[in-house]
Structure 1
Amino acid sequence: MKFIFKLLLVSILFYGCKTSAPTTSKPNILWITIEDTSPQFIGCYGNENAHTPTIDQLAEEGVRFTNAFSTGTVCSPSRSTLITGVRTFEMGTGNHRSFYPIPSEIHGFPYYMKEAGYYVTNNAKTDYNLRNGKAFIKDAWNESSKKAGWWNRKEDQPFFAVFNFEDSHQSRTMTNPYSWYTEKIYNKLNEEEKIDEGAFKMPPIYKDTPEMRKQFARVYNAISMTDKKIGHLLERLEKDGLKEETIIFFFADHGEGMPRGKTNGIDYGYRVPFVVWFPEKYKHLSPWETNGGVTDELINFEDLAPTLIDLAGGKLPQHLKGRILIGEHRSEEKELITLSSDRSDNGIDLVRTVTDGRYIYSRNFMPFIPQQRYIRYMEISEIVNQMRIDLKGDQLDSLQKSIFEARPKEYLFDIQTDQWETHNLADNPAYSQIKAKMKEHLKTELLERRDVMFLPEYEIAKISATGTPYEFRLDNEKYPIDNIFDIAFLSGEQTDKALKTQLQFLNSTDSIERYWAILGLRSQPKNKISPYKESLLKSVHDQYPPVSIIASVIAYDLYGNSDAKAKLIDYCLSENMQEALLVINLMNYLSVDQKSPFIPTMQKVYELKREYNVKVASLDFLGSLGVIENNYNNKT
């Protein structure tokens, strides 16, 4: 009996000492986010050349998602949905770094976790794309800084901690100089952690040359560095005795930062790696098989805020419409989800997408703009410069060239058989039922949500001066979205019926209907709209600036009209940032000869305008003409 008593005492002492941190009644939650990464560059998603042992182990012991999607294709809109749980096309936050206001009653979701007793920290990226960002951040987090973490909480207090790793960001993989990458990424990896330029298969959307491989190897090595840093974080979590009390989420903020991925409303821009790891204590909360489980369940960033608030035992606010993924309140799975992509940096766009995980359907509402838009931030990169050199030298195949060409109005890709989205099935009769189902879902969803991004950004900026786009869209008198959709969904249609309707709507009393009519005409073939000179020249003098701008670009392009040219110069020099941004972006897609007369104007814009978007757009215009050399671009 004495022996048994001593053995029991030793056991109690041993196991009591082994657990260095107190347990909590609620799970700790660790969010690990990385940037600009598609799943096909991660080992556990089948890439045998990637070096991602930490992420792979999380997946081996946890749950790997094959159908996880960002709600946007560039960082700040994606993070807007992540932090608020509200879709950007409802909030008005779809345009990259636009900083428009949101209703005061909408808080960052960690606020509701704080109310439930959690200690919530962010280390350290915010970029939430909202006005009054500092106040919003202070309200959402207990601490948001590079020093923030679970270590400052009260004893026994559960935590929610976010750590964001930037090493895979586009700046590291393509836009920063190669020498920067060598110093900050490549030279800091051990030999076994490095991926050689010849050690991976080049995606077919890029030309397979030594010059391109040199640049593309940056993606693999940047992800290797990211994985290494995640490993250090998990070591600290385990050292602090907290891993067995903590549910771990790992995911990227959107798709790959390489050309054709980030900023584009296709699978390569939306789909993200996503893994959830459950400690033994909380495996009962998982609806999925753990220890190497794989699920094809559809999830997107809208689902994360309600999931975490519910997991923390908080009260869900009414504005959240996403699913609860985990626990006893788990929501029903979805058959289809809707995604969106709008302006990135200075590059305007509007794409709406539906996917069931296998098929992805995208509607391009500005199809005259190519996938590789003139975005200065990307144009300064060596890889884009190499691609443009190869394009000019006729060294690209038809697929690789298509990145620089006007898009069709619709994409439909089968990701199961065509991972790199090389075969557009939108006009294939064999897939007509799939396309029709997705198209109908898209229209229904956008109408129900009252997508406010169908307003030109000029209008959203005006609304934001006195109210919020989120609230504005709910007033049917101010925003008759059904009428707007009728004309907006004709943009990209090239039938005679669509053309006739667009010409009729140029005379509408509603400025937004006229906007979509002229935008639709811009998407028509030149030979089809050229005969309607009188109507187009009349629209040059439209009182609504977005209509006048688009009509002036068309009239100058088709007829070399002097009034249109004068209008374009005036709008380039406008004090209104949205007017200048719109006109400069649209002029980027004129021919070089047509753009040349505007060089003095663009140089003046650069001298006069210091606001972010206008400055970038004017430099982009000059860069597209070769007026500014790459070394000057990099320096500025």
Structure 2
Amino acid sequence: MKCFIYFLLSLNLVSAQDRPNILWITIEDTSPQFIGCYGNKNASTPVIDKLAVEGIRFTNAFSTGTVCSPSRSAIITGVPTYKMGTGNHRSNYPIPDFIHGFPYFLKKQGYYTSNNVKTDYNIANEKAFIEEAWNECSNTASWIGRETNQPFFSVFNFAESHQSRTMSMSFDWYVKNVWNHLPESDRIADSAFEMPPFYNDTPEMRKQFARVYNSIKLTDNRIGALIKKLEKDNIRENTIIFFYADHGEGMPRGKTNGINLGYRVPFVIWFPEKYKHLSPWGKAGTVSSELLNFEDLAPTLISLTGGDAPDYMKGCVLLGEKCSKTRKHLLLSSDRADNGTDLMRTVTDGRFVYSRNFMPFMPEMRYIRYIEIADITRHMRADYKNNKLNALQKQLFKIRPAEVLYDIENDIWETKNLADNPNYKGILNKMRKQLKTDILKARDIHFAPEYEIGLLSKSGTAYEYRLDKKNYAFKNIYHAASLSGFRGKETTQKQIKLLKSDDKIVRYWAIVGLMSQDTRFVNSYKTDLVNALDDNYSPVAITAAAILYNCFESKVAENRLKDFCKSDNMDLALMSINYLLYVDNKIPFIETIKKIHELPKRNYNVKAACMDFLGILGLVDNNSGTEN
């Protein structure tokens, strides 16, 4: 119906129109709950709100990934991370030669393309990739460099709402870089907003959370200045404006977590009068509940500018002559963020969000250095330790369930997991089935451990490897992975049996599943775990060592973990240290971790995991990074 309406509106008009300019305004780390036009009366976002009133506001827009580089990988290529192998934050693996940044196709259609300035595309050979995609990519790039009457596609990335401003950098740094750039009348006080219920409502927490509102306010001011420049250059009436955030809010429980708060983003498209016929959603001020994600942006822009999207782009064309039928659900993904490994997959129909935790032995507040250095995290962990949190707030620090189901229409802060509610059994089963169907169809490459992706990327690409049914027996792999997180005697028995599989990745998921089991179910299988300690596939041996050490205080396992922590393979080292963050007795590893942190050629993630380990024990100051 959407495309039919567009057809009627545009009949006999398209050929008479010049091609539109396109301006992308992207902001960082922001959920719609903190934007005025999405219902937050405490927010001050008049520029964004006006765009929404005059344009089309989307309530069901989702990022493809919950941290910047994976989401930007999906945006620039039009390929979701779970197909490309780009879901792990700043991993930089090769992609097939036939996949280009979508502005490359716009250039071929005569558009001038500029990017100001963030790239972070999470792929190998990024410099050549950028040069191919953009006419200009710099902190001064704009539409200015185009030829006379040449249409442009210009991107402006605003970092004012980034997690560095809202939490990670010191409060003094925030004052210097955000607060001092706001007129006094724009500043939002600590008492001028409602706290999300999963945070403790204390003066210390309010002081930190006010940073979110003020950073978004500064962002709104910056967007206003850009739009004035567009008007000053007399090109606004020839320009379609897209506004969106790269993923959810950059605060604890949002960014990096595969729930609605990590995925859902504000998204607005503004059409000038000249191009209003291109909107299939109707008149200005319309609010659309259509489902869209970042996989859709590349094919939409290529189609809008007169081209045909390549076959590898499977996203929907949102507007224009070739717009796609609206879909009924989306598959979303969340993987490693910095040193915090994870794997979550999500299905949403817009109202319900169903997320599957495949590594639930880690809490939502898992250890990620960029989050740990923040004052707000320090307050949260101190309040948890001192028993000052309610049951909901404590849940952020406990192991996760295998699956969560939230009704976003009635529970926007995701406080009530409906997965165990018998009244929602039908919805749960439907979404479980849909998730399985979509993952199997995609042949999700991130069910291979990152260690494996690193190895195969030396001679090929993860995108192509996942299609190799002989070497990547995905149906069997997913069967093993689908057990992970479900706890019980029967599931444990199945996982122990899968430890004898000929497929190394099946064995990996069997042992990862055992990592999430209750100790009382694992205790009967010590011999099987000892045998797994000698597995020729290192990810299996490492995980077996972590279980044996944590459950049985095995000295052999302890020594194996110490050796793996020192590995020159950064993926194996990170896996080992990451497990140590969640074992009960960390004391025997202190000297090993201190030495590893000082070893040469350790990458950022390994060093960050070391710092998190030492920070847990109070051996480093999380604010300064120095030893106590």
Pairwise TM-score range, normalised by the shorter structure: over 0.9
How much has 1:24 moved relative to structure 2? Answer: 7.7
What residue in structure 1 maps to residue 422 of structure 2? 429
Instruction: Please tell me whether the aligned partners of residues 278 and 290 of structure 1 are also in contact (alpha carbons under 8 angstroms).
Output: no
After the TM superposition, which residues 130-149 of structure 1 pair with which residues of structure 2 at under 5 Å, given as runs?
130-149=123-142
How much has 1:373 moved relative to structure 2? Answer: 0.7
Instruction: Please tell me whether the aligned partners of residues 488 and 521 of structure 2 are also in contact (alpha carbons under 8 angstroms).
Output: no
Gap regions ≥5 residues in structure 1? 1-22
Residue type of the alignment partner of 1:237: L
Find the aligned partners of 2:570 and 2:622 in 1 and give their Cα distance.
Answer: 26
What residue in structure 1 maps to residue 160 of structure 2? 167
Residue type of the alignment partner of 1:236: K
Find the aligned partners of 1:210 and 1:69 in 2 and give their Cα distance.
Answer: 32
What residue in structure 2 maps to residue 189 of structure 1? 182
Picking from 236, 258, 266, the partner of 1:265 is 258
Picking from 405, 408, 418, the partner of 1:415 is 408
Find the aligned partners of 2:627 and 2:19 in 1 and give their Cα distance.
Answer: 51
- Matched residue count: 612
Matched, 1:603 2:594: yes
Question: 1:210-254 CA distances to partner (integer Å, 9 max, x unpaired)?
Answer: 000000000000000000000000000001000000000000000
How much has 1:615 moved relative to structure 2? Answer: 1.2
After the TM superposition, which residues 213-612 of structure 1 pair with which residues of structure 2 at under 5 Å, given as runs?
213-591=206-584, 594-609=585-600, 610-612=602-604
What residue in structure 2 maps to residue 616 of structure 1? 608
Find the aligned partners of 1:320 and 1:568 in 2 and give their Cα distance.
Answer: 42
What residue in structure 1 maps to residue 34 of structure 2? 41
SS at match of 2:346: strand
Find the aligned partners of 1:501 and 1:184 in 2 and give their Cα distance.
Answer: 54
Instruction: Please tell me whether the aligned partners of residues 374 and 623 of structure 2 are also in contact (alpha carbons under 8 angstroms).
Output: no
Residue type of the alignment partner of 1:284: H
Runs of 4+ in 1 over 6 A off after TM superposition: none
How much has 1:634 moved relative to structure 2? Answer: 7.6
After the TM superposition, which residues 100-111 of structure 1 pair with which residues of structure 2 at under 5 Å, given as runs?
100-111=93-104
What residue in structure 1 maps to residue 6 of structure 2? none
Residue type of the alignment partner of 1:503: I
How much has 1:630 moved relative to structure 2? Answer: 2.7
Instruction: Please tell me whether the aligned partners of residues 405 and 419 of structure 2 are also in contact (alpha carbons under 8 angstroms).
Output: yes
Picking from 26, 48, 64, the partner of 1:55 is 48
SS at match of 1:249: strand
Instruction: Please tell me whether the aligned partners of residues 68 and 274 of structure 1 are also in contact (alpha carbons under 8 angstroms).
Output: yes
How much has 1:623 moved relative to structure 2? Answer: 1.1
Question: 1:512-532 CA distances to partner (integer Å, 9 max, x unpaired)?
Answer: 011000001111100111111
Find the aligned partners of 2:108 and 2:433 in 1 and give their Cα distance.
Answer: 40
How much has 1:460 moved relative to structure 2? Answer: 0.4
Question: 1:475-533 CA distances to partner (integer Å, 9 max, x unpaired)?
Answer: 10010101111111000112333211100011111110110000011111001111111
Find the aligned partners of 1:579 and 1:252 in 2 and give their Cα distance.
Answer: 33
Question: 1:254-299 CA distances to partner (integer Å, 9 max, x unpaired)?
Answer: 0000100000000000000000000000000101133211010101
Find the aligned partners of 1:37 and 1:316 in 2 and give their Cα distance.
Answer: 29
Residue type of the alignment partner of 1:214: K
The percent of aligned pairs where both chains have the same amino acid is: 59
How much has 1:436 moved relative to structure 2? Answer: 1.1
SS at match of 1:579: helix
Question: 1:516-572 CA distances to partner (integer Å, 9 max, x unpaired)?
Answer: 000011111001111111001111111111000000000001111111011000001
Instruction: Please tell me whether the aligned partners of residues 309 and 316 of structure 1 are also in contact (alpha carbons under 8 angstroms).
Output: yes
Question: 1:330-378 CA distances to partner (integer Å, 9 max, x unpaired)?
Answer: 1000111110000000000000000010100000000111001111111
Instruction: Please tell me whether the aligned partners of residues 24 and 158 of structure 1 are also in contact (alpha carbons under 8 angstroms).
Output: no
Instruction: Please tell me whether the aligned partners of residues 24 and 156 of structure 1 are also in contact (alpha carbons under 8 angstroms).
Output: no
Find the aligned partners of 2:594 and 2:355 in 1 and give their Cα distance.
Answer: 37
Find the aligned partners of 1:117 and 1:251 in 2 and give their Cα distance.
Answer: 25
Instruction: Please tell me whether the aligned partners of residues 35 and 166 of structure 1 are also in contact (alpha carbons under 8 angstroms).
Output: yes
Find the aligned partners of 1:290 and 1:434 in 2 and give their Cα distance.
Answer: 34
Find the aligned partners of 1:409 and 1:611 in 2 and give their Cα distance.
Answer: 31
SS at match of 2:615: helix
Find the aligned partners of 2:238 and 2:627 in 1 and give their Cα distance.
Answer: 48
Matched, 1:207 2:209: no
Residue type of the alignment partner of 2:429: A
* TM-score (norm: length of structure 2): 0.96
Residue type of the alignment partner of 2:275: Y
Find the aligned partners of 2:583 and 2:627 in 1 and give their Cα distance.
Answer: 27
Instruction: Please tell me whether the aligned partners of residues 619 and 627 of structure 2 are also in contact (alpha carbons under 8 angstroms).
Output: no
How much has 1:191 moved relative to structure 2? Answer: 1.9
Instruction: Please tell me whether the aligned partners of residues 303 and 324 of structure 1 are also in contact (alpha carbons under 8 angstroms).
Output: yes
How much has 1:439 moved relative to structure 2? Answer: 1.1
SS at match of 1:502: helix
SS at match of 2:332: strand
Find the aligned partners of 1:587 and 1:86 in 2 and give their Cα distance.
Answer: 34
Residue type of the alignment partner of 1:250: F
Question: 1:373-421 CA distances to partner (integer Å, 9 max, x unpaired)?
Answer: 1111110100000000101100001110110110000000000110100
SS at match of 2:94: coil
After the TM superposition, which residues 59-70 of structure 1 pair with which residues of structure 2 at under 5 Å, given as runs?
59-70=52-63
SS at match of 1:247: strand
Find the aligned partners of 2:136 and 2:276 in 1 and give their Cα distance.
Answer: 29
Gap regions ≥5 residues in structure 2? 1-15
Question: Which protein has the larger Cα radius of gyration, Structure 1 or Structure 2?
Answer: 1
The CA RMSD over aligned residues, in Å, is 1.2
Residue type of the alignment partner of 2:479: D
How much has 1:316 moved relative to structure 2? Answer: 1.2
Find the aligned partners of 2:627 and 2:283 in 1 and give their Cα distance.
Answer: 49
Q: Given the superposition, is the C-alpha separation of residues 634 and 115 from structure 1 closer, same or farther in structure 2, using an over 3 Å criterion?
A: farther
Instruction: Please tell me whether the aligned partners of residues 99 and 129 of structure 1 are also in contact (alpha carbons under 8 angstroms).
Output: yes
What residue in structure 1 maps to residue 3 of structure 2? none
How much has 1:28 moved relative to structure 2? Answer: 0.3
Instruction: Please tell me whether the aligned partners of residues 23 and 240 of structure 2 are also in contact (alpha carbons under 8 angstroms).
Output: yes
Residue type of the alignment partner of 2:608: V
Question: 1:139-191 CA distances to partner (integer Å, 9 max, x unpaired)?
Answer: 11111101111011001110000000001000011011100111111111112
Q: Given the superposition, is the C-alpha separation of residues 634 and 134 from structure 1 closer, same or farther in structure 2, using an over 3 Å criterion?
A: farther
How much has 1:635 moved relative to structure 2? Answer: 10
Matched, 1:176 2:169: yes
Instruction: Please tell me whether the aligned partners of residues 488 and 518 of structure 2 are also in contact (alpha carbons under 8 angstroms).
Output: no
Matched, 1:630 2:622: yes
SS at match of 1:250: strand
